[in-house]
Structure 1
Amino acid sequence: MSEESVPQQGGPTGRPKGLLQQMEELMAALNADLSDLRIEAGFPPEESQGA
């Protein structure tokens, strides 16, 4: 796969983000979405489960 087919996403400074940073941002967004779904489904928030 050539670099031309992979879009480069710039951060606030315009520099491309590292793969690790992109993955961390995606995981944070996914966790937030899953927390919202748990609440909508009537499950208690994970913080109150004592785990």
Structure 2
Amino acid sequence: MLKIALTTIILTLAPLTAFAECFGDHQQAMSCADGAVWDSETKSCIKVTG
């Protein structure tokens, strides 16, 4: 009976730990069109001049 209870608890909590990992500080790769670069201050692509 104890094994069943422990298995149930583990299977119930396992998805919660995976869900919690999604809330960390993640950076997403951003790609811009040719002739533009990513500006982290404005969080947009800006044209490269020069």
Judge same fold: TM > 0.5, yes or no. Answer: no
Q: Would you tell me which structure has more strand in proportion to its own residues?
A: 2
Greater gyration radius: 2
State TM-score, norm by structure 1. 0.41
With the length of structure 2 as denominator, give the TM-score of the two structures. 0.42
